[in-house]
Amino acid sequence: MIRIALIAGALTAAGIVLSPTAAAAPFPNCTAARDAGYEDIPSDSPYYGPWLDSDGDGIGCES
């Protein structure tokens, strides 16, 4: 537990913020993305994957 606190403190000091809802990128499908609170994912997002963009317009998991 102490080791986790030390790592989290070091990341915070380095300017890296960990979000409790941070998702692995990219999502395997839009259901997983929506369950994590993501929709309308632009192609420049780390959460975008071409398989999430059914119409090829550069926006994944459109609402």
Please report which confidence band the pLDDT of residue 14 belongs to, taking 50, 70 and 90 as the band edges. low
Residue 37 is predicted with a pLDDT of 96
Cα-based angle 9, 14, 15 (whole degrees, multiple of 5): 100
> Could you tell me if 23 and 38 are in contact, meaning their C-beta atoms sit under 8 angstroms apart?
yes
User: What pTM value is reported for the model?
Assistant: 0.60
Residue 8 is predicted with a pLDDT of 45
Average pLDDT, the chain: 77
Residue 26 is predicted with a pLDDT of 84
- Among the listed residues 35, 20, 26, the one whose alpha carbon sits nearest the alpha carbon of residue 60: 26
Cα-based angle 51, 52, 53 (whole degrees, multiple of 5): 90
Please report which confidence band the pLDDT of residue 13 belongs to, taking 50, 70 and 90 as the band edges. low
Residue 31 is predicted with a pLDDT of 97
Which secondary-structure segment (H or E) carries 60? strand 59-60
